[in-house]
Chain A
Amino acid sequence: MRLSGITKRFGSLLANDGISLDLAGAEVLALLGENGAGKSTLVSILFGHYVPDAGTIEAFGAPLPPGDPAAALAAGIGMVHQHFTLADNMSVLDNVMLGTEPWWRLHSQRRAARRRLMETAGRFGLAVNPDARVGALSVGERQRVEILKALFRDAKILILDEPTAVLTPQEAGGLFATLKELVRQGLSIIFISHKLPEVLRVSDRIAVLRDGKLIDVRDARHAGEAELAHLMVGREVAPPQVRPHAVGALVCELNDVAVGGADGLAGVSLALHAGEITAIAGVAGNGQQALADVLFGVVAPDRGTVRVDGRALPATPRAWIGAGVARIPEDRNAVGTIGDLPVWENAIAERHAGAFARHGFVRRRAARAYARRLVQRFDVRAGRGVDTPARALSGGNLQKLILGRALTGDGDEKIAHVPKLIVARQPTWGLDVGAVAFVHQQLLDACAHGAAVLLISEDLDEILFLADRIAVIHRGRLTEARPANAWTASAIGLAMAGSSATEHADAA
């Protein structure tokens, strides 16, 4: 495949700037870059989800019509999306068969398709149950279905967008083995990631993207981590300063907390102390959301007690806000902010009826002044100041707004106040390096000033960097929270997959 001069703009954002790349047969080409570098945009263009503003694509010698996923599929390009494109309510076979038959056919050839699916699965070593309902599958299994979708259609070029984001280290290893087999059978693979170690491990060549431009293409065997990191980031980003601090009193305690449902908790106990960052590591879908929701005050546990400062709190967000808990939700657009409302109304959203209200009316002047100070201190870039609708802010700026709102306390006077407990769920998801560093610094500072911090993240690097203590969650159960330096990477990986260190030792 050959890309020439691919350029794509979204409004004022230049996502891809004149990118030219070659892909050879039977090789793994990695697209490496930090969040926002343009990797996903580029492959979306390849697959036809977007139409490039300029540039051409050639696949197997023939030009590829832009903006047409059907043409891309016909040309042998298959894509495993970062967020799986699977219908939960339908079976594996349904998902794989879709679009493979002419629409005017009066009778779907399901039996033949089923045979072909099992054949393909066997050929590449991917186990699958064609009649299983996708919604009931695990994340790893769903990824396998995504890959099979492409292989079923005779893909010769397979694009994988951040595939290891949802896998345990061991499952990632399994994926890499599969990729090696695919290459052995002649496929070419484009592998997108922002994680250096795995890129070096799995790829033949590495293309580094930064701010929408292609910086360089290196041979994986001769590239070093340090130089790649430098190419990726391109500037000095001061690593966050870790200040030494003392661990203080017990702030929050969970005791045998259980929450029902598929992604629930099965009896979790945890103690959070002031001045300490406790992190929960794990693969997505093992109960993190339920744990976060309990501590956000959104969900009431079916069993067990939750105490903040010794008091049990009702399961309402109001109670938790009132108790001085700062909450950073996982989805800044769907949960964290209200897009249609301006920045200042979002800033006081949690306290619109409390500190910023008087006799049933919102204290506009005080609220706007508070919002202005918040925007300034947390460097929130908004086109029209505090009147900008939140919808118009970039991801990074929204996160800064949410962070600012969470870390500044009750009322406008006490902007230097530090909350008692900070519950942060995926606080740096989708942010570029500069924003990530900013968020990390804020959390570290708050902790140094005596806040208890609970970090629930699927980014292991972030956890290893920030945490004082780490517990691993698997199927709704927590391991004990051990000091960070008592964990090895492989031990965490095993715990994420559900086996304990002793089990592994016995098996060895």
Chain B
Amino acid sequence: MRLEARGQTARGWLIAAPFAAVAVTLAICSLFVAWAGAPLMPTYAAIFDGAFGSRFAWSETLTRATPLMLTGLAVAVAFRARLYNIGAEGQLYVGALAAVALGGIAEVASLPPILVFAGMLAAAMAAGALLLLVPALLRTRLGVDEVVTTLLLNFVALLFVSMMLDGPMKDPAAMGWPQSVSLPDTLQLPKLIERTRVHAGLLIALALAVLLWGLLKYSTFGFAARAVGANPRAAAFAGVRVERTMVIVALLSGALAGLAGAIEVMGRTGYVTLDMSPGYGYSGIVIAMLAGLSPLGVVLASLFVAGILVGADSMSRAVAVPTYIADVIVAVALLSMLVATVFARYRLRWS
């Protein structure tokens, strides 16, 4: 079996690839549904229904999609510059913690709400950015592969948050459960749609997606980031300051992931717990790949993944298929998407 390069990139295929990937995913995952002994179409229908079948379903999906959009953007921006940020999970948690920590300081809470909001979001972004800065600098200065360092730091970050929640930031009223003090209502993001959990964080995420798209396409920084991701040596030769660009990309990516954490706390939960994020940081990687690393594509991809997660939750209450089917679907979608991207540039030949 050989790969044969096509003359021109098949552009039509690039657009069709995500859809082909989703189709293949559903086909493969039907095997898993069968393994669980459940009927195929009712299961898929239940997932779809739970994700998009009603106003409530949509609201849940949108709520779930909000942090996913932000982690997806974080990963997409980083991967675009070939900085493999696998630490979005940890950055999310420290971002959440920083936001709550700042909001919990009495002097801060007495300032006008808009300042407090901005401050909390800024604190979250700073926390996430700093967490990614260390692996990024290790990479640019010492050539240490950032994949492993960001991964390992996830564990460290979570332990740190756990330590804080057990100690200084523990909520005394939470009956021994490690969680932070709840944010007062004034410091939480307003709801967009009444009687649902959809909150203003969604708007922030959408706005950032558009902003990042513009940044990458039109700005000089975006040019530098894309150049460094495509060919760092040629970019350096052309005068791009590679290290500086990587550092800024790292700060941006970490900030986005930290922001995801803050928005989750301020919009959905109200307080920080250790199970706040069921792997949003890792799902961000899948979302970024499904989106072809495009910020606008991230919006669609996060709706898809959120839908799967929400739908599977709801489905598992009706059908006897474990909720882990959602993780299987998401993982298979990633692998299918990877295979699909190959066909844009190559043809497969059997030798």
Contacts and interface: CB of A to CB of B under 8 A. Distances in A.
A9 to B, nearest CB: 11
A336 B237 contact: yes
A321 B236 CA distance: 12
A340 B231 contact: yes
A12 B8 CA distance: 11
Interface in A334-380: 334-341, 345, 349-350, 352-353, 357, 360-362, 364
B238 A339 contact: no
Given A296-B237, A317-B238, A335-B234, A349 B227 contact: yes
Given A352-B220, A353-B220, A353-B224, A389 B9 contact: yes
A339 B230 contact: yes
A383 B8 contact: yes
A67 interface: yes
Q: Could you say which of A327, A329, A340, A352 has the most chain B C-beta atoms within 10 Å of its C-beta?
A: A352
Contacts of B218: 361-362, 364
Contacts of B44: none
Contacts of A12: 7
A197 interface: no
A51 interface: yes
A131 B6 CA distance: 43
A392 interface: yes
Given A352-B223, A360-B219, A364-B218, A392 B236 contact: no
B241 to A, nearest CB: 7
Nearest to A337: B234
A280 to B, nearest CB: 20
A349 B238 contact: yes
A378 B341 CA distance: 34
A362 B219 contact: yes
A67 B2 CA distance: 12
A353 B221 CA distance: 8
A153 to B, nearest CB: 24
A353 B241 CA distance: 11
A361 B214 CA distance: 10
A349 B238 CA distance: 6
Interface string B199-230: 00000000000000000001111011011001
Interface of B: 5-9, 218-221, 223-224, 226-227, 230-231, 233-241, 351
29 contacts: A12-B7, A51-B351, A296-B237, A298-B236, A298-B237, A316-B241, A317-B236, A318-B241, A327-B237, A338-B230, A338-B231, A339-B231, A340-B230, A345-B223, A345-B227, A349-B227, A349-B239, A349-B240, A352-B220, A352-B240, A353-B220, A353-B223, A360-B219, A362-B218, A362-B220, A362-B223, A364-B218, A389-B9, A392-B7
Given A296-B237, A316-B241, A349-B235, 8 more contacts: A329-B237, A338-B230, A341-B226, A350-B238, A352-B220, A352-B240, A357-B220, A362-B223
Interface of A: 11-12, 51, 67, 296, 298, 316-318, 321, 327, 329, 334-341, 345, 349-350, 352-353, 357, 360-362, 364, 383, 389, 392
